[in-house]
Structure 1
């Protein structure tokens, strides 16, 4: 994204005759250009905070040109071109048009955007940040002529006018306002998590209208974890087993910057978030996000006592020859990375003992990552040396169910077993079209 920043050049300059007549104290053209370039650069940083590239750039596609498919309960949609191309992008948008699309989900021509665009979160973005984002997308992004693709949603579900009523029911307008009694860092963290970071879009469960069940910490379901497109987005509250309760502030800051720590590693959609967004946060914003998330009270969880590591029973199961089906699969395919003790080799290779994703009641993420693997974490341009491979072509549904059941029971994890039917269902939905 940094490579997409461009100087504004002569377009930002005023004519020389006017310069000669500039009153004392007025900005020179060079100073004005520098100020505008600073706004573009600030907008570039904010676009990273908002993770705009992750959704609006298709694999092997040009930056922000759209085309990425997204699965919704009604069918597949394709993300739009947000480059400043006048014909196919947003080049014709005024700042007011841009602000309305960003914060209210209404395009320049008046049609409603699907709430897969997280405008209920972006509604909290303040005017100054909207201005900087607009400057970046108009002057810091290369225009790409690429027509937007119609969704695969069938009539009548593809009609957009009912979204007006959805907005009336679920959209809370108005930028974030600092909470009294909270310090500057907490409020900054809340603003980023609830607004540009739009963490609730994935990590908060949805209601009957597919709306987020809560938009901030005043709702008990906020960031308590949710199933989304074949992955279970983790619980981000202080819950001790499946949330962040055992994570220190340093653990959380490390995860945001690198995608891995002593408890877990990023996978699935979170890999893209780390790659395109959170690793770019400056130290103050990382600390603010961590402070806010660590302040959230525990919600959800699996109802089990606080996790305590115990290797003994699992060690017996893994003694050669391994004495159950899951242990045999683990010995053959998993143990060389995750260890006989289940502790892996963090942060390079994720632990399984006490991992919040392993302890979660919903095993979708474990099934998905075992079937399909995960993309590379790329930190400061360097790919992770040990990405999780996919085993869909190597292990059948029963073998995957067996090994995941073994892992979820092992090392005192105490999580429910996985059924082969669950694996088969996710295999079918995630392998379609591959």
Structure 2
């Protein structure tokens, strides 16, 4: 978060009117009744909830036509066309074919999908929601003839058949079932977070086979934060410093609706989640997600004492920046937006004092956003006026390490310093091909 990032694959940014209603040129069957259209519209909402457009729509591409590159530990893959085109999309899929691909990661022709597609989460989607999603993708999306692109993964790692064994080991089949003893809102929130919202795909650590280490709150690592594609997706448990422990229910609901609150602002992959998904969700669903997330016990963090704000030592450094390399960079490039007191001008400009991303043990997101900036948050069609710019061309590795170390120590943040080698590594991996 300037927050929760995948956090966190990665991040993507436009308002999506084509999801809010079926496009005028969509393939709606002649004579479709009001009930059919209601199902399509419900599917459109669910597709937003699942953030399908973020991965299946390439920048400047047609909706859901695929082509977006995604980095994996094995190499780059390209997301597929899921429009109802019969030749290059999913126009030939039956509802059963669609459900199998969505929930089991197996395409119509029998080949296994890479688990970059979050089907271990979508396995929890219930039959009624699968039916609505199928109606939307068949009748609410315009068909686009665009061939799918082969991955850049080299043989033998590009073979798909071993994924059958991956599924046997790690895929838990079966739609979400309400937990006894929990109220309606909690269970709805758990269903959304664990299922279509697939929050664990970014925010849960992965094992050696790239599997999510936990799929629900029964495991202690669930949503405790994870490194993915150069970003660290934030801790979403109740941990006091790097998690949501200091966030009120209203803070979290505001963040999900607008991408910013008094603690943090969205960046990286979370920008696209806000733009393409959560801002369009109903207040009831946002409240349910918040209720569930706020129920998670604290896990992880940097081991420091509970954060309390203290400006004094940092103020002395800023009064004499010539004596501190990090303070010199901060006063020249950061202070006008984030303030002498580190509290920024929330929610327009994020605070650094007490920001969960600043306090996180892993500084990858801070390094990445300092190097490369972030895309605009676009709320109700209006871009944010003050997006974070990138400083890769302005500051060298040592300067970035110095200023981030200054920020992570400042205002009583107490987080570990950043080394120039860490910056150099992320600079190389994120700037490649730019």
Whether TM-score is above 0.5 comes out as yes
What whole-Å deviation, never above 9, does each CA across 1:24-49 have from its counterpart, x for those lacking one? 99999999610000000000000000
Question: 1:433 deviation in Å?
Answer: 0.1
**1:102 and 1:263, CA in 2 relative to 1: closer, same or farther beyond 3 A?**
same
Query: Is 1:13–1:29's contact at 8 Å kept on the other side of the alignment?
Result: no
What is the alpha-carbon distance in structure 1 between the residues aligned to residue 18 and residue 426 of structure 2? 66
Query: Is 1:5–1:40's contact at 8 Å kept on the other side of the alignment?
Result: no
Q: SS state of the match for residue 254, structure 1?
A: helix
**1:332 and 1:17, CA in 2 relative to 1: closer, same or farther beyond 3 A?**
closer
Question: 1:381 deviation in Å?
Answer: 0.3
Range with bigger deviation, 318-327 or 145-154: 318-327
Question: 1:257 deviation in Å?
Answer: 0.1
What whole-Å deviation, never above 9, does each CA across 1:250-298 have from its counterpart, x for those lacking one? 0000000000000000000000000000001101000000000000000
Q: SS state of the match for residue 365, structure 1?
A: helix
Query: Is 1:4–1:141's contact at 8 Å kept on the other side of the alignment?
Result: no
Q: SS state of the match for residue 232, structure 1?
A: strand
What whole-Å deviation, never above 9, does each CA across 1:202-224 have from its counterpart, x for those lacking one? 00000111100000000010000
Provide the residue aligned with 1:290 in structure 2.
290
**1:365 and 1:403, CA in 2 relative to 1: closer, same or farther beyond 3 A?**
same
What is the alpha-carbon distance in structure 2 between the residues aligned to residue 355 and residue 272 of structure 1? 20
**1:31 and 1:76, CA in 2 relative to 1: closer, same or farther beyond 3 A?**
closer
Question: 1:323 deviation in Å?
Answer: 2.3
What is the alpha-carbon distance in structure 1 between the residues aligned to residue 298 and residue 49 of structure 2? 25
Between the two structures, name the one with larger relative contact order (CA 8 Å, sep ≥ 6).
Answer: 2
TM-score (norm 1): 0.93
What is the alpha-carbon distance in structure 2 between the residues aligned to residue 282 and residue 260 of structure 1? 18
Query: Is 2:6–2:233's contact at 8 Å kept on the other side of the alignment?
Result: no
What whole-Å deviation, never above 9, does each CA across 1:335-394 have from its counterpart, x for those lacking one? 000000000000000000000000000000000000000000000000000000000000
**1:178 and 1:412, CA in 2 relative to 1: closer, same or farther beyond 3 A?**
same
What is the alpha-carbon distance in structure 2 between the residues aligned to residue 432 and residue 325 of structure 1? 28
What is the alpha-carbon distance in structure 1 between the residues aligned to residue 284 and residue 97 of structure 2? 31
Query: Is 1:5–1:141's contact at 8 Å kept on the other side of the alignment?
Result: no
The count of residues paired between Structure 1 and Structure 2 equals 434
Query: Is 2:22–2:141's contact at 8 Å kept on the other side of the alignment?
Result: no
Query: Is 2:9–2:202's contact at 8 Å kept on the other side of the alignment?
Result: no
What is the alpha-carbon distance in structure 1 between the residues aligned to residue 2 and residue 325 of structure 2? 50
TM-score (norm 2): 0.93
**1:8 and 1:143, CA in 2 relative to 1: closer, same or farther beyond 3 A?**
farther
What is the alpha-carbon distance in structure 2 between the residues aligned to residue 54 and residue 115 of structure 1? 16
What is the alpha-carbon distance in structure 2 between the residues aligned to residue 391 and residue 19 of structure 1? 34
What is the alpha-carbon distance in structure 1 between the residues aligned to residue 198 and residue 333 of structure 2? 36
Provide the residue aligned with 1:333 in structure 2.
333
What is the alpha-carbon distance in structure 1 between the residues aligned to residue 366 and residue 318 of structure 2? 20
**1:127 and 1:319, CA in 2 relative to 1: closer, same or farther beyond 3 A?**
same
What is the alpha-carbon distance in structure 1 between the residues aligned to residue 20 and residue 50 of structure 2? 42
Instruction: Indicate whether 1:421 and 2:433 are aligned.
Output: no
Query: Is 1:214–1:221's contact at 8 Å kept on the other side of the alignment?
Result: yes
What whole-Å deviation, never above 9, does each CA across 1:141-198 have from its counterpart, x for those lacking one? 0111100000000000000000000000000000000000000000000000000000
Q: SS state of the match for residue 271, structure 1?
A: helix
Provide the residue aligned with 1:304 in structure 2.
304
Range with bigger deviation, 48-57 or 8-17: 8-17
Query: Is 2:4–2:270's contact at 8 Å kept on the other side of the alignment?
Result: no
What is the alpha-carbon distance in structure 1 between the residues aligned to residue 196 and residue 277 of structure 2? 10
**1:109 and 1:405, CA in 2 relative to 1: closer, same or farther beyond 3 A?**
same
- Which ranges of structure 2 fall in alignment gaps of 5 or more residues? none
- Which ranges of structure 1 fall in alignment gaps of 5 or more residues? none
CA RMSD in angstroms comes to: 8.2
Query: Is 2:6–2:228's contact at 8 Å kept on the other side of the alignment?
Result: no
Instruction: Indicate whether 1:324 and 2:324 are aligned.
Output: yes
Query: Is 2:205–2:227's contact at 8 Å kept on the other side of the alignment?
Result: yes
Query: Is 1:56–1:68's contact at 8 Å kept on the other side of the alignment?
Result: yes
**1:17 and 1:319, CA in 2 relative to 1: closer, same or farther beyond 3 A?**
closer
**1:110 and 1:98, CA in 2 relative to 1: closer, same or farther beyond 3 A?**
same
